[in-house]
Amino acid sequence: MSQQPSSSSAGGLRIAPFTFEVTPPLGHSCCGGFVKSVEVIDDALEAVGVVLLGAGQPIVLCVVDWTGVLNEAHAVWRMALAEAAGTTPDRVALHCVHQHNAPFACFEAERIVSAHADLPHVVDLEYFHRCVARSRAAIAQALPRARTVTHVGSGQGRVEGVASNRRVYRDATGQVLVMRGSACRDPRLIDLPEGTIDPFCKTVVFFDGARKVAALHYYTTHPMSYYGDGRVTSDFAGLARKRRQQEEPDCLHLYFTGCAGNIAAGKYNDAAPERRPILTQRIYDAMVAGETALTRVPVPALEWKTTNVLPHARPSLNAAALAQMVATKTHSVLDRNRAAFWLAWLHRLEQRMPITISALHLGDVKLLHLPGEPFIEFQLRAQQMQPDDFVCTAAYGDGGPWYVPVKEEWPHGGYEVSAALCDPSFDDQLTAAMRQVLSDK
Ligand SMILES: [Zn+2]
C-alpha cells in the first residue's frame, strides 16, 4: 500500500510550533510498570512539535518525552493531532525520545493487565487523554500564529563520548554474551570500542528571514543516564534540548532519537549522578556545533511520502503462553507486564493494523520516520540509499514492534533479539519501505 506523494512549489510555506506538558502524575507507572513508579518530578516531560502549512494538507511532526506510544494509543493520538491541524493521520509523525522514567502507553496492554489486580497499570488512561486534549489545544493556539518559512538550514555536529554499541561483547561465533547497556561498570565492556554508531547530531532549522523559528535535532542513543528510581526526568537528551530552548525562547527546539535499538551510553556512563550533566553538555555542544555550521537554502519544494507495512509476528510469540505468563503470580511483575505488551502486539496484528513509514523531503534534506526500536544499521542504510542527501532519522514512532534487529543479527541472540516482536522478514519490509519513501522518484 502506498499513497501518492503530495508536493508544493517553493514559497507559501508556514510553520506553527507548539508545545505542551506531558509529565505523569505521582504514582504513575514508569516504562509500563517495569520499573519503580513516579515518586518525584525532577524536571517536566514535554511534547514539542510543528505543523507545516502550505504544502498540500498540513504536516505534523511531534516528539514526546515518553518511553513509547504503541499500537492503538499511537493511532488515537495521531488522529487527534491530525484533526487539530486539519489534516489526515498519515501526514502526522508522532515519536518518543524514549526516556525510561516516563510513561509507556499501550491501551491493549493496559486492558490486559487491568484484569489482574496485583499488577501495576501500564498507563493511566485519563491522564493519557488529558495529554491528547492538551495537544489539540496547543495546535489550535499555534495555528493562528504560524510564521512564514523563507529558508531551511541543515548542519551537523559530532557528539564525542555518548553513543556506544550495546552488542560488542561477543564470543568467537558472534554470540552476544552481555549487553553494554545505558550504564556500565564492567571494565571488560567499557574497554571495548564504541562499535557501530552514528556519531552525528543532525540539525534542520526553519527560518523566517534571519530568525530561527524551529530547530529539529536528531541524535541516536538510548537517552538514559540512570533510571528506575521513580524520579521523572527528560534526562540528558531532554536537558540538552531544554537548555537550547531557554537560550532561544523564540525558536522551538525539538529532539528526535534515531535508530537506537542497539545504542546506549554504557561506554561513557556508569550511572553516577555527575555523569548526567556531562552527557547533557556533550549533546548540547553538538547541537550548537550543528547550528553553527548550517547550510541555508531558500525553501525547496516539499514532498511528504508514506507507505504502510504490515509486519508478521515473531513465530515464537504464543498468545496462550503470554496470557498464562501475565496471569501467573509467581512470575516477576516485569515479566508479566512485558508479556501483556507482547500479547497486545499479537492482538494488533490480528486486526491487520499496519504501520505507516513516512519521509518529509525538503529538497536534499530528508526527514525519515520509523517505528519501534530499530538497530543503528537501518539509519546508516537510509543515509547510504541517498548518499547526496542530508538524511535525518527519527525512530520510536509507533512502538508496537519493540526492537527491530537487522536480519543478520538474529542468529547472534542478545536481549534486543529476544525482545523483537516481528519476524526477521521485517528487515526487508522496512528497508523496502525506507527506499520507497526516501526515493526522489
Ligand atoms: Zn529501548
pLDDT of the residue at 3: 45
Asked if the structure places residue 222 within a domain, the reply is yes
Give residue 151 CA to ligand 1 midpoint distance, Å: 35
DSSP secondary structure string, 95-125? Answer: EE---SSS-EE-HHHHHHHTTSTTSPPS--H
What are 419's three cell numbers? Answer: 525482545
pLDDT of the residue at 155: 98
Asked if the structure places residue 345 within a domain, the reply is yes
Strands 176-178 and 169-170: antiparallel
pTM assigned to the model: 0.97
Asked if the structure places residue 427 within a domain, the reply is yes
pLDDT of the residue at 270: 97
Angle (deg, nearest 10), helices 333-350 and 71-85 = 60
Range of the domain at 337: 6-438
- Cα–Cα distance between 195 and 176 in angstroms, integer? 13
CA distance readout (Å), 8 to 204, 213, 302, 407, 414: 19, 20, 5, 37, 45
As for how many domains the chain has, the answer is 1
Give residue 31 CA to ligand 1 midpoint distance, Å: 10
Give residue 296 CA to ligand 1 midpoint distance, Å: 34
Q: Residue 7 — very low, low, confident or very high, per pLDDT cuts 50/70/90?
A: low
Residue where the block lists cell 498540500: 56
Residue where the block lists cell 538514559: 224
Residue where the block lists cell 522551538: 252
pLDDT of the residue at 65: 98
Helix (H, G, I), strand (E, B) or coil at 400: coil
Give residue 262 CA to ligand 1 midpoint distance, Å: 8
CB–CB of 417/409 below 8 Å? yes
Give residue 98 CA to ligand 1 midpoint distance, Å: 7
Give residue 6 CA to ligand 1 midpoint distance, Å: 33
In one-letter notation, the amino acid at residue 34 is: F
CB–CB of 17/214 below 8 Å? yes
CB–CB of 375/410 below 8 Å? no
Asked if the structure places residue 78 within a domain, the reply is yes
127-154 pLDDT per residue, tens: 999 999 999 999 999 999 999 999 999 9
Asked if the structure places residue 280 within a domain, the reply is yes
CB–CB of 122/67 below 8 Å? no
| Cα-based torsion angle of the residue sequence 23, 27, 28, 32 in order, rounded to the nearest 10 degrees | 130
Q: What percentage of the chain has pLDDT greater than the value 70?
A: 98
360-408 pLDDT per residue, tens: 999 999 999 999 999 999 999 999 999 999 999 999 999 999 999 999 9
Give residue 402 CA to ligand 1 midpoint distance, Å: 8
Q: Vertex 421, ends 417 and 427: CA angle to 5°?
A: 75
Give residue 210 CA to ligand 1 midpoint distance, Å: 38
- R_g of the chain, CA atoms, integer Å: 20
In one-letter notation, the amino acid at residue 337 is: N
Give residue 56 CA to ligand 1 midpoint distance, Å: 35
- Cα–Cα distance between 87 and 81 in angstroms, integer? 8
Q: Residue 11 — very low, low, confident or very high, per pLDDT cuts 50/70/90?
A: low
CB–CB of 383/200 below 8 Å? no
Give residue 373 CA to ligand 1 midpoint distance, Å: 6
82-108 pLDDT per residue, tens: 999 999 999 999 999 999 999 999 999
**Sign of CA pseudo-dihedral 95, 216, 4, 377:** negative
Give residue 76 CA to ligand 1 midpoint distance, Å: 22
Give residue 207 CA to ligand 1 midpoint distance, Å: 33
Asked if the structure places residue 297 within a domain, the reply is yes
Give residue 304 CA to ligand 1 midpoint distance, Å: 28
Give residue 259 CA to ligand 1 midpoint distance, Å: 10
Give residue 323 CA to ligand 1 midpoint distance, Å: 23
Helix (H, G, I), strand (E, B) or coil at 430: helix
Asked if the structure places residue 434 within a domain, the reply is yes
Residue where the block lists cell 501518492: 4
The larger pLDDT score, comparing residue 266 to residue 7, is at: 266
Give residue 100 CA to ligand 1 midpoint distance, Å: 8
Give residue 326 CA to ligand 1 midpoint distance, Å: 21
pLDDT of the residue at 441: 85
Give residue 68 CA to ligand 1 midpoint distance, Å: 9
Give residue 421 CA to ligand 1 midpoint distance, Å: 13
Report DSSP state, residue 313.
B
19-52 pLDDT per residue, tens: 999 999 999 999 999 999 999 999 999 999 999 9
Give residue 388 CA to ligand 1 midpoint distance, Å: 30
292-344 pLDDT per residue, tens: 999 999 999 999 999 999 999 999 999 999 999 999 999 999 999 999 999 99
Asked if the structure places residue 1 within a domain, the reply is no
Give residue 90 CA to ligand 1 midpoint distance, Å: 25
Give residue 415 CA to ligand 1 midpoint distance, Å: 11
Contact partners, residue 163, CB within 8 Å, separation at least 6: 194, 197, 198, 199, 219, 220, 221, 260, 263, 264, 265
Give residue 14 CA to ligand 1 midpoint distance, Å: 34
272-287 pLDDT per residue, tens: 999 999 999 999 999 9
pLDDT of the residue at 10: 52
CB–CB of 434/381 below 8 Å? yes
Report DSSP state, residue 266.
G
Helix (H, G, I), strand (E, B) or coil at 5: coil
Give residue 351 CA to ligand 1 midpoint distance, Å: 25
Give residue 74 CA to ligand 1 midpoint distance, Å: 17
pLDDT of the residue at 348: 98
Q: What percentage of the chain has pLDDT greater than the value 90?
A: 97
Of 440, 395, 392, 401, which Cα lies nearest the Cα of 424?
Answer: 401
Give residue 405 CA to ligand 1 midpoint distance, Å: 12
Give residue 438 CA to ligand 1 midpoint distance, Å: 25
pLDDT of the residue at 2: 43
What average pLDDT does the structure give for the chain?
Answer: 96
Give buried/exposed letters for 165-178 (b at 16+ CB in 10 A, else e). bbbbbeeeeeebeb
